[in-house]
Homo-oligomer: A and B are copies of this chain.
Amino acid sequence: MDRRQLKTRSAIFQAFNKLLEKKHFNNITVQEILDEANVGRSTFYAHFETKDALLRELCTDIFDHIFSQELHSESSHDFSSSNHGLKEKITHLLYHMKDNKGNVQGVLSGESGELFMRYFKEYLMKMFEQYPQSIRQDIPREFALNHLVGSLAEAVKWWIADRMEMPPEELADCYLKLIGYDS
Please indicate the chain B residues that have their CB under 8 angstroms from the CB of A146 in the complex.
154-155, 158
Please tell me if the beta carbons of A158 and B174 are within 8 angstroms of each other in the complex.
no
Count class of interface residues, chain A: 20 to 34
Determine which of B114, B140, B166 lies in contact with A117 in the assembled complex, contact meaning CB atoms within 8 Å: B114
A142-183 residues with Cβ-Cβ distance < 8 A to B are 143-144, 146-147, 150-151, 153-155, 158, 166, 174-175, 177-180
Q: A26-B26, A114-B114 are in contact. List 16 more A-B contacts (CB 8 A).
A: A114-B117, A136-B178, A139-B174, A139-B177, A143-B155, A143-B166, A144-B178, A146-B155, A147-B151, A147-B155, A147-B175, A147-B178, A150-B150, A150-B153, A150-B155, A154-B154
Please indicate the chain B residues that have their CB under 8 angstroms from the CB of A177 in the complex.
136, 138-139
Determine which of B26, B143, B144, B151 lies in contact with A150 in the assembled complex, contact meaning CB atoms within 8 Å: B151
A65 within 8 A of B: no
Instruction: Tell me the complex Cα distance, A58–B168, Å.
Output: 39
A101-139 residues with Cβ-Cβ distance < 8 A to B are 114-115, 117-118, 136, 138-139
Instruction: Tell me the complex Cα distance, A140–B179, Å.
Output: 15
Please tell me if the beta carbons of B158 and A154 are within 8 angstroms of each other in the complex.
no
**Shortest Cβ distance from residue A23 to the other chain B in the assembled complex, whole angstroms:** 12
Q: Which residue of B lies closest to A138 (CB)?
A: B177
Instruction: Tell me the complex Cα distance, A151–B52, Å.
Output: 27
Q: Which residue of B lies closest to A144 (CB)?
A: B178
Task: Kindly list the 10 A-B residue pairs having the minimum CB-CB distance in the complex, ordered from nearest.
Answer: A150-B154, A114-B114, A146-B158, A139-B174, A147-B178, A151-B151, A180-B180, A136-B177, A143-B174, A26-B26
